[in-house]
Amino acid sequence: MLAACTIGPEHLRELFEIEAAVFGESRKRTPADVFGSVNGRELLEKDFEHVEWRRFEDELRCTNADDVVAYLTSIPPGEGATSEELRQLRGAVDYRVRKGKGILRVTKGSGVFLARRAR
């Protein structure tokens, strides 16, 4: 039996929407592209007879804009942000938090594949 946790294309979608609004579309390939909820079944069915995907229903509830900005500036392309990009990023995050009445809800598109070989 194999249990393999992974993510899907919707994982952290809201954060990457903010990132794209400030820095442009920069993410070309994610870990989910290599082995994720969309392609994992096909990959596992090459070696396992029974493959099941179980999505973990959850979300992040970000209430501190500083934490969101800190995360987005800890990874590319945010880690190399100019002062103007930082200003825009902060404005975009603040807007989303206000729009959510103090909460920025972020999708956690994760789950687990359970795969079994026949006995």
Give residue 82's pLDDT.
96
Task: Check if the beta carbon of residue 4 is closer than 8 Å to that of residue 40.
Answer: yes
Q: Over range 65-75, report the average pLDDT.
A: 96
For the cut 90, the answer to whether the pLDDT of residue 112 exceeds it is: yes
* Other CB atoms within 10 Å distance of the CB of residue 89: 22
> Treating both helix axes as pointing N-terminal to C-terminal, what angle do 13-23 and 83-99 enclose, rounded to 10 degrees?
140
SS3 labels along 84-119? HHHHHHHHHHHHHHHHCCCCEEEECCEEEEEEECCC
For residue 43, give the nearest of 118, 117, 115, 119 by alpha carbon. Answer: 115
Q: What distances in angstroms separate CA 73 from CA 23, 69, 83, 117, one per listed residue? A: 11, 6, 12, 43
The pLDDT, as a whole number, for residue 33 is 85
pTM of the full structure: 0.84
pLDDT at position 51, please? 97
Question: Does residue 108 surpass a pLDDT of 90?
Answer: yes
pLDDT of 66 reads: 96
29 versus 47: the higher-pLDDT residue is 47
Band (pLDDT 50/70/90 cuts) for residue 110 is very high
What does the pLDDT average to over 11-19? 94
pLDDT at 27: 67
Confidence grade of residue 32 (pLDDT, cut at 50, 70, 90): confident
